[in-house]
Amino acid sequence: MTLAEIFEINDPICIEPAIMDCADSEYTRFLLDGDYSAAKLLVDENEDPIAAAFLEEGGWTVTSFVFRPFSFEVLERVEALDGDIYQEERSNYLAALREYYCNEILKEFPDVIEDNREGRYEMIEGLFDSLNLIPETDGNGAGDSTAKPTAIDFCCGSGVATSVLRDLGYETLSFDYDAALISCGIQRKRLEPSRAMCLDGTRASDFCPKCNLGIGLMLGDITNFNADMWEDIIYELFELSEKTVISTATKPEIERVAGWCSDAGRRYRIIGNDRDPIYDAWVCVSEE
């Protein structure tokens, strides 16, 4: 389902340039400055407003309120235009919104270089198997998605680990701050546009729900210079996930991660991993 299908309109354009901008209330002001001839309001299953579409000379403009408060000034504009009210499940709208922005990324980065190394999928699969992360549900990902365990791939790159999690039966959500890598993952079918985002990891909890498993593979380099940034990202990972798996290339890096686990009050263990000594040489597994 797309934004166009949800609103029953052609070629909608989101007023927010990127998904992270959907949390910025300044775009509500930008929207209210427009001159419109028609409007549509979207509510979720609880009848809470989550988006609106306005028709102006250039076409339909969509704005979202799933990551920022709804403005009653928007409701007044909809009512003044005798706008229609539509209803859709919030999860379906979020999937359509993510897909919209991923399609914009594909337009911006149509030509990307493959960053995956041969055998990387099997290395990650073997690591997850050794950590007993294979869920008890249908291992091929079939069946009712609501019964699947959930996983978030932090700093997912082009999505190799995401594809492993999905094949194991997890309902995945993935993000990276590098839009070109997101484009690569989508083009190689490792990332699903409706389940991926270009996102700053220090703000993950603003855009992601809590999950059963959070992973951050190939983190680093974690140095004294950037440790504060990585600490913020990893604390977001802790905030969102019951269990976490974090890998680094060196022992000092993983020891720093272990310290953050301890500070957060999480139970953890450190494991040496010889499956991929370049990126995942050291692994920290922690739980709430």
* CA 233/CA 40 separation, integer angstroms: 37
* CA 97/CA 14 separation, integer angstroms: 9
Q: What is the pLDDT of residue 137?
A: 56
Amino acid symbol at 182:
I
Token readout for 68 is 């920022």
Q: For 52-95, how does the pLDDT look when each residue is reduced to its tens digit (9 = 90+)?
A: 999 999 899 999 999 999 999 999 999 999 999 999 999 999 99
Domains belonging to the chain, first-starting first, are 3-108 (no CATH), 120-287 (3.40.50.150)
Low-confidence residues of the chain: pLDDT under 70:
137-146
* CA 54/CA 36 separation, integer angstroms: 6
HSE of 143, CA atoms in CB hemisphere, 13 A: 16
Distance set, CA 215 to CA 22, 34, 65, 146, 160 (Å):
25, 42, 28, 20, 12
